[in-house]
Amino acid sequence: MNRRSLIQLLIGVIAAVAGLGTMVLVRQDRCLDAGGSWSTETRVCLGPQGPLVVARRSDVTVAIGIGLLVAFMLHRASTFADRHARRPSA
């Protein structure tokens, strides 16, 4: 595995983790805004009368968007670093 493919794999993993983490944080924030408490063991929002539904389809859209944004920024940074490293020194 060469250096370039390792960097691209790392970019994909970081972007996926960032997207999923963002989705969980958005759900936690929405749960607290609704007056519930977030259970970290079960990842469920608990209200006074039981579980509250705070998941929306837009959560997945936001997570994918954040993941793509992180992937794009990391790809640009790695491309810049790779080009800078290949530049002949004076």
> Does a structural domain hold residue 61?
yes
> Does a structural domain hold residue 17?
yes
> Does a structural domain hold residue 89?
no
> Does a structural domain hold residue 47?
yes
| Overall number of domains in the chain | 1
Name, of 39-43, 53-57, 74-78, the range with top average pLDDT. 39-43
Tell me how far apart the alpha carbons of residues 57 and 81 are, in angstroms, rounded to a whole number: 37
Percent of the chain with pLDDT over 90: 0
Nearest Cα to Cα of residue 83 among 75, 66, 27, 15: 75
C-beta separation of 52 from 36 below 8 A: yes
- Residue 17's pLDDT is 83
> Does a structural domain hold residue 88?
no
Mean pLDDT of the chain: 80
> Does a structural domain hold residue 49?
yes
**pLDDT, mean of residues 26-38:** 87
pLDDT of 43 > 60? The answer is: yes
Q: Which domain holds residue 16?
A: 3-83
**pLDDT, mean of residues 14-40:** 85
**pLDDT, mean of residues 34-63:** 82
Burial-class residue 19 by CB neighbours within 10 Å (0-12, 13-18, 19+). Answer: buried
Tell me how far apart the alpha carbons of residues 87 and 80 are, in angstroms, rounded to a whole number: 11
**pLDDT, mean of residues 41-66:** 80
Tell me how far apart the alpha carbons of residues 46 and 24 are, in angstroms, rounded to a whole number: 15
Q: What is the pTM of this model?
A: 0.60
22 or 1: whose pLDDT is higher?
22
What six digits make up the tokens of 44? 């469920």
